[in-house]
Amino acid sequence: MFDPCDFYKGFFLKEALGNNQFSFEKRKQKQIYVAPLKKGKLSDLSVGKNIAFSEYSDGKEYNYPGLENFIHFDLNGKEIFIFDNHNHAFFFWIYAYHAGIISFGENLVHIDQHTDMRKPEKWLAISEMHDALKIFEYTNFSLNVGNFIQPALQLNLFKKIDIIDSSISIEKRFYDKYVLDLDMDFFSPEMNYIPEDLKIKKIRELMEKASFITIATSPFFIDQQNAIEKINRIFKY
């Protein structure tokens, strides 16, 4: 087993890799920040000063800060990771595998405005799953916010994915063991057609039975302070 804090120490991604590859040639902002991970608590969540996601769209450049720190904490014996860009979930899933929290062939419940099911250009070999540095580099330099789930399926880390992204899918019920993966853009303005109280109720219900939880605050898709406020509401029973 490895400690994720040994790898996430805070660094700038300056090349056209990972999430920094989006519209790289068109942007003036040429670097994005990957925040350090700390063992902490919900009160440690805050918006950072550095740009975590940069994109050029419709003739305009958009630059968004992410979190000051990624947070790893334990809630009633259940490990939870909170971070900004969603591809980092891949690294934490493999950490959970090495820690004996999850095993091959589990289910993934993915709550998100998007499916994030694009295929990456490069795949991680199953033989590389025991090399923490390679996993970290793959997560940060090869994967991005839209293509981190397919590699987990390809490794058989998950045998099945259930996506909750609509008023219909939010009614699904789950009985087998699963990992819960939440994107806070589920609370973005585009998703307001689903009542917030219903979202909160469903997420709390799923958290109770999840074996492991990852939460992304998605800087490009939702205001980070708003995301933090919603996270605090979720955990305040």
Q: Is residue 21 in a domain?
A: no
**Tally of domains in the chain:** 1
* 179, β-bridge pairs: 108
Q: Is residue 184 in a domain?
A: yes
Confidence of residue 8 (pLDDT cuts 50, 70, 90): very high
For 143-200, the pLDDT digits (tens) are 999 999 999 999 999 999 999 999 999 999 998 899 999 999 999 999 999 999 999 9
Range of the domain at 179: 68-235
Q: Is residue 103 in a domain?
A: yes
Q: Which two tokens stand for residue 9?
A: 């120490």
Mean pLDDT of the chain: 97
For 74-127, the pLDDT digits (tens) are 998 999 999 999 999 999 999 999 999 999 999 999 999 999 999 999 999 999
Identify the H or E element spanning 205. Answer: helix 196-209
pLDDT given for residue 130 in this prediction:
94
Q: Is residue 161 in a domain?
A: yes
What average pLDDT does this structure show over 62-80? 96
For 17-51, the pLDDT digits (tens) are 999 999 999 999 999 999 999 999 999 999 999 99
Q: Judge whether residue 237 has pLDDT over 70.
A: no
CATH assignment of the domain containing 213: 3.40.800.10
CA distance 68 to 220: 16
Among 22, 146, 35, 174, residue whose Cα is nearest residue 86: 146
Amino acid at 103: S
**Could you give the angle at which helices 196-209 and 224-235 cross, rounded to 10 degrees?**
60
Contact present, 76 and 109 (Cβ < 8 Å): no
Contact present, 113 and 186 (Cβ < 8 Å): yes
pLDDT given for residue 1 in this prediction:
77
Among 43, 26, 45, 27, residue whose Cα is nearest residue 35: 45
Burial class (CB in 10 A: 0-12, 13-18, 19+), 236: exposed
Q: Which two tokens stand for residue 138?
A: 């793959």
Identify the H or E element spanning 82. Answer: strand 78-83
Q: Is residue 43 in a domain?
A: no
Among 196, 189, 188, 185, residue whose Cα is nearest residue 233: 196
Confidence of residue 132 (pLDDT cuts 50, 70, 90): very high
Q: Judge whether residue 59 has pLDDT over 90.
A: yes
How far out from the chain centre does Cα 197 lie? 22
The helix/strand/coil state of 220 is coil
Range 166-197 burial, b when 16+ CB lie within 10 A, else e: eeeebeeeeeeebbbbbbbbbbbeebeebeee
Reported pTM: 0.97
pLDDT above 90 coverage of the chain, percent: 97
pLDDT given for residue 157 in this prediction:
97
Q: Is residue 83 in a domain?
A: yes
Q: Is residue 177 in a domain?
A: yes
Q: Is residue 58 in a domain?
A: no
